[in-house]
Amino acid sequence: MTGIKKYVAAAAVTTALLGLPTVSYAVPQGRTAHDTAPAAVERGTTGTATRTVPAAKAPTARIVAPGQRVRVSDGSRIWLTQEGKHWTTPDDPDPRFRSVVDGNIDLGTPGVSLQAEGLGGHYLLSGLYYGGTGTASRVSVRTTAGTVHGRLLKLGGSPGWGVWYATVDLPADRGKDGLDFLDVVVRDTEGRIYARLGLN
């Protein structure tokens, strides 16, 4: 009976782990950013294998159509065209633009940029990522108030670049000093650094 109880508990934990959404960019405490669940074999009550459950896959960038508006949680909107990144905020509905074709970035060299806009009690963070090897999977921004995890967007095909974004609340005890940004890191599906921007 004890063996059955242990199996049921282990099966419940396996089901809970495998049921996690694969698009989550947060990493549970105690795990590294590149941990993924290994493949598991579910067994019937007789101990025979019934089916193999594949390992969880690392997230990848959301594919968007040119001009498709993506709504950020704070009401800002971001969209991509072949020429670069466009965005608006609730405070400023006039579109802004960051080019990928004006010669200011080298798409063949790994890089990531950061734009930080103060909007009331929070910041909208966004930027370009480009030129890395592998498949970009997730982005994190280290600040003096902690680490923020963002989301990745890209156009279909292989444009060689994409856009990331995140929001972060301004800590009440920081006052007008705001936040200091320490670095931005984009990792690939294997957990390796795709591109990094050091700011300190």
- The answer to whether 123 touches 170, Cβ cutoff 8 Å, is yes
Nearest one of 2, 57, 186 to 112, comparing CA atoms:
186
Q: Which helix (H) or strand (E) holds 87?
A: strand 84-89
Could you tell me the CA-to-CA distances from 15 to 22, 41, 54 in Å, in that order? 14, 12, 12
Confidence of residue 64 (pLDDT cuts 50, 70, 90): very high
Question: Coil, strand, or helix at residue 199?
Answer: coil
Each residue's pLDDT tens digit, 161-172? 999 999 998 877
Each residue's pLDDT tens digit, 8-26? 333 333 333 333 222 222 3
Which pTM was predicted? Answer: 0.71
